[in-house]
Amino acid sequence: MSESHRRTVSYIDKSREYYAAHGYDKPYMWARYPTVPFTGPRPDLSSATVGVVTTTFPVGASMPKKAYAQASDPIPDKMFTADLSWDKDATHTDDVGTYLPLAAVNEAAQSGLIGSVAPRFYGVPTEYSQRRSHADAEQVLKWAIEDDVDVMLLVPL
């Protein structure tokens, strides 16, 4: 294979190798949720309330980062992304719509494709702790229930 072609990299294998190289006794265990009641979206989304989850944070967010909910209107014109991992040489995060697509979801609501946009969007930190991910997911679920969200878009950076 020439160097101009992409090669497949197994993220799972790379993670296991990383943990082993750092002296961890047990290989990393990927989270599994065999009893989570995921269901597909309803065939008709025209009455669904759609929420958005992002891994970015409002500019000026205080540390430590934790799950948050923020009003969907007005749409933020900038979010804090500098400490997140993304290819900073090949792209940028100047277009908020690429990782917080509230404008597109609003357009879908205006056109009748979906019912409405949730009154808040939700943010979660990029964490590599299953305990933290579980706690953040429980908090976002609580907010989504409060906001009568039917469908959630997960948009990590």
Q: How far apart are CA 113 and CA 49, in angstroms?
A: 11
Torsion-angle region of 133 (φ positive above 0: left; ψ -120 to 50: alpha; else: beta): alpha
DSSP bridge pairs for 77: none
Q: List pLDDT tens digits, range 117-143.
A: 999 999 998 876 778 888 999 999 999
Which run of H or E residues covers position 154?
A: strand 151-155
In a domain, 13, yes or no: no
Q: Judge contact between 152 and 99, C-beta under 8 A.
A: no
For residue 64, the model assigns a pLDDT of 67
In a domain, 70, yes or no: yes
Tokens representing residue 74 in the block: 């007005």
Q: List pLDDT tens digits, range 24-42.
A: 888 777 777 778 776 776 6
Q: How far apart are CA 88 and CA 71, in angstroms?
A: 28
In a domain, 49, yes or no: yes
Place of tokens 């008709």: 44
Q: How many domains does the chain have?
A: 1
For residue 3, the model assigns a pLDDT of 63
In a domain, 138, yes or no: yes
For residue 50, the model assigns a pLDDT of 97
Determine the structural domain holding residue 47 and report its residue range: 42-155
Low-confidence ranges of the chain (pLDDT < 70): 1-6, 38, 41-42, 61-64, 128
For residue 12, the model assigns a pLDDT of 80
In a domain, 76, yes or no: yes
Task: Measure the CA angle with vertex 102, ends 142 and 77; round to 5°.
Answer: 110
For residue 155, the model assigns a pLDDT of 92
Total-model pTM: 0.75
In a domain, 18, yes or no: no
In a domain, 71, yes or no: yes
Q: How far apart are CA 106 and CA 146, in angstroms?
A: 20
Q: Which of 124, 128, 104, 108 shows the shortest CA–CA distance to 116?
A: 108
φ/ψ (deg, to 5) at 155: -125, 85
Q: Judge contact between 143 and 43, C-beta under 8 A.
A: no
In a domain, 85, yes or no: yes
Average pLDDT over the chain reads 86
